[in-house]
Amino acid sequence: MSMLRNFQSEFAGYLLSPRLAAMPAREAAAMNVYRNTVMKGLIDVLAANYPTVLKLVGGEWFNGAATEYARSVPPGSPVLAAYGKDFWHFLESFPPAFDLPYLSEVARTDWLWIESYFAPDATALSASMLQTLSGEQLMLTPLALHAATRVIACNYSAVSIWQHNRSDNPDIELQVSDRDEFALITRISNVVQLQRLDAQEYAFVNSIGKATLGETAIMLLEQDPQFPVANTLAKLVNSGCFASLSS
Amino acid sequence: MTHPTAGLGFKPEHFADALSCSAAGMWYEIHAENYMVAGGSRMAMLDALSEQHPISVHGVGLSLASDDEPDQQHLLKLKHVVDRTEAFIVSEHLAWNKWQGIHVPDLLPFPRTSDALHVIVRNIDIAQNTLQRKLLIENPSLYLSLATHDWSEPDFLKELVSRTGCGLLVDVNNVFVSTYNVGGDAQDYLDQLPIDAIGEIHLAGHVSESQDAIELLIDNHGAAICDEVWKLYQHLIQRIGSRPTLIERDTDIPAFDELLGERGYAAEMMNSTAINMERDRVHAA
């Protein structure tokens, strides 16, 4: 092992360990600067990627969770914009979060928002493009989701809680229940948006890419003959949900 | 676009002001890794900014002082950011931040041995070959005194320049912070750096922190630039002449106009130093 490698091996061991090994005071003070910089950097990235979680639990609680996560899952890439993709999952089994059953789903919504925010640029399917198709062509069209589109199904009113905490108008009273909730995240003109879906709309979006539009419509109409296929399609298209049709 | 003089570290919260700023010689520096994402508003912002102003790309993730070679995939991503912004400067650090697949957001020290020199020369060669251009290497801020250095930092940097053809990015605040923390004289350090290799200068603020009665200066980019650093900057440009100079601010970010004020101060200092140097040259002739 080279001398540089030896040094880096020992130094790296000090950085993320919960307690600093005994060493002379001057060395310990210096080592703590590096340890603090690393941990603060990682906590800041997680706070930027999980703003709703931070708002719900407050700085102290968040720092504790983020510190533990950073120690167990340090970044595997220097591109920290993508750091923390498992943090929502980590919160599911983080004992202090056991009293907050909605937290990991709120966190997952934060993460899907980030995925949408950084997703590749692509043209969305527009209503005018759709109008160029005949009804039959439309039914045979294999629609695809836009690269920035995400859907989420939650328990514990997590979508309501998320919206309430991200809203500019949080005065609206929050109704919490253990109902299932569904949401669609899309990006229109580079602005990420979240809107509520009902269970059927969620099933519609979730079937995209797995079946043609006609097959999806038949499936939904079998479950509910009143299902408004055309209106739902129009709503989703206007949200920028789908990728432009490849010609 | 005018010739780049003094610039600012780009902050997305200042996007509108940054884009429309008409100060002569204005340019912006970005941290490359923040723009290694697929798309969305962050990339759109960068495209708009680089259409209006010169961009310098400052990498923080290559880990040139690692025993391992730089990651090729990461280098290609860096090249993509450099090409996309038509960067006029590309820089990285004399530091490491990856170990066995783990990357940490810091710039870590190492013993400046001949063994390390050999490794870092190899790594800079690899990076410059992939990027197909010159890298400027920045001196780090140091907190830990190591007894095992074979080389002084200025000598080590000079050696990197002569062996790889790289240039230098001189962070004056880092020199001030490091010499305070681990010993040495800041002005003496700056006087040893090879004039022709210096392609950019960084200026930033720092804070003082104490632990167990041991005081260290922390390079937090979170305060105004102090008088001592301005004096060192003036001393440096009196010796080497004007260089693109960046005001760095990454925490406690004030309003754009406040940063523009510091940036204007640097531009003015560059300008008056150039006038004085010209006057001295005429007098001497």
Tell me the per-residue pLDDT of B81-90, one tens digit each, with 9 for 90 and over. 999 999 999 9
Question: Residue B7 in contact with residue B26, Cβ under 8 Å?
Answer: yes
- The backbone region for B101, taken as left when phi is positive above 0, alpha when psi lies in -120 to 50, beta otherwise, is left
Q: Return d(Cα B195, Cα B33) in angstroms, integer.
A: 29
CB contact, 8 Å: B108 with chain A? yes
Tell me the per-residue pLDDT of B211-257, one tens digit each, with 9 for 90 and over. 888 999 999 999 999 999 999 999 999 999 999 999 999 999 999 99
DSSP secondary structure string for all residues of B76-123: HHHHHHHHHHT-SEEEEESSEEEETTEEEEEEE-----HHHHHHHHHH
Q: Given this model, what pLDDT does residue A171 score? A: 64
Handedness of CA A166, B35, B175, B265 (dihedral sign): negative
CA distance A18 to chain B (A): 16
Tell me the per-residue pLDDT of A80-126, one tens digit each, with 9 for 90 and over. 998 999 999 999 999 999 999 999 999 999 999 999 999 999 999 99
Q: What percent of chain B has pLDDT over 90?
A: 94
CA distances from B273 to A88, B3, B225, B238, B280 (A): 55, 17, 19, 6, 10
Q: Given this model, what pLDDT does residue A170 score? A: 65
Residue B123: φ, ψ to 5°: -65, -40
Residue B73: CB atoms within 10 Å? 9
Whether residues B66 and A42 touch (CB distance < 8 A) is answered with no
> Which B positions 24-53 lie with beta carbon below 8 A of chain A?
33-34, 36-44
Query: Would the pLDDT of B1 be above 60?
Result: no
DSSP secondary structure string for all residues of B138-198: EPPP-----TT-SS-HHHHHHHHHHHH--EEEEEHHHHHHHHHHH---HHHHHHTS-GGGE
Residues of A in contact with B148 (CB under 8 A): 3, 7
Q: Return d(Cα B61, Cα A40) in angstroms, integer.
A: 17
Residues of A in contact with B100 (CB under 8 A): 12
Whether residues B98 and A78 touch (CB distance < 8 A) is answered with yes
Which position has the higher pLDDT, A2 or A188? A188
Point out the residue among B106, B181, B209 whose CB comes nearest to the CB of A41.
B106
Which residue is listed with tokens 């912002």?
Answer: B45
Closest-CA residue in chain B for A43?
B105
Query: Would the pLDDT of A66 be above 80?
Result: yes
Whether residues B143 and A34 touch (CB distance < 8 A) is answered with yes
What is the average pLDDT across A49-64?
Answer: 98
Q: Given this model, what pLDDT does residue A178 score? A: 79
Whether residues B218 and A2 touch (CB distance < 8 A) is answered with no
Residues of A in contact with B145 (CB under 8 A): 26-27, 30
Question: Residue A65 in contact with residue A89, Cβ under 8 Å?
Answer: no
Residues of B in contact with A192 (CB under 8 A): 40
Q: Given this model, what pLDDT does residue A189 score? A: 95
Structure tokens at B138: 């920045």
Query: Would the pLDDT of A184 be above 60?
Result: yes
Point out the residue among B62, B108, B209 whose CB comes nearest to the CB of A11.
B108
Question: Residue A159 in contact with residue A175, Cβ under 8 Å?
Answer: no
The mean pLDDT of chain B is 96
CB contact, 8 Å: B211 with chain A? yes
CB contact, 8 Å: B110 with chain A? yes
Residues of A in contact with B214 (CB under 8 A): 25-26, 29
Query: Would the pLDDT of A168 be above 90?
Result: no
Structure tokens at B186: 């800041």
Query: Would the pLDDT of B164 be above 60?
Result: yes
Q: Given this model, what pLDDT does residue A246 score? A: 73
Tell me the per-residue pLDDT of B101-159, one tens digit each, with 9 for 90 and over. 999 999 999 999 999 999 999 999 999 999 999 999 999 999 999 999 999 999 999 99
3-state secondary structure of B231: helix
Point out the residue among A38, A81, A119 whose CB comes nearest to the CB of B104.
A38
What is the average pLDDT across A201-228?
Answer: 91
Whether residues A30 and B39 touch (CB distance < 8 A) is answered with no
Query: Which pTM value belongs to this model?
Result: 0.95
Q: Return d(Cα B274, Cα B25) in angstroms, integer.
A: 15
Q: Given this model, what pLDDT does residue B280 score? A: 85
Whether residues B145 and A78 touch (CB distance < 8 A) is answered with no
Name beta bridge partners: A184.
Answer: A151, A195
Tell me the per-residue pLDDT of A215-236, one tens digit each, with 9 for 90 and over. 989 999 999 999 999 999 999 9
Please report how many Cα atoms fall inside a 13 Å half-sphere around the Cα of residue B20, on the Cβ side.
5
What is the average pLDDT across A128-132?
Answer: 91
CA distance B226 to chain A (A): 21
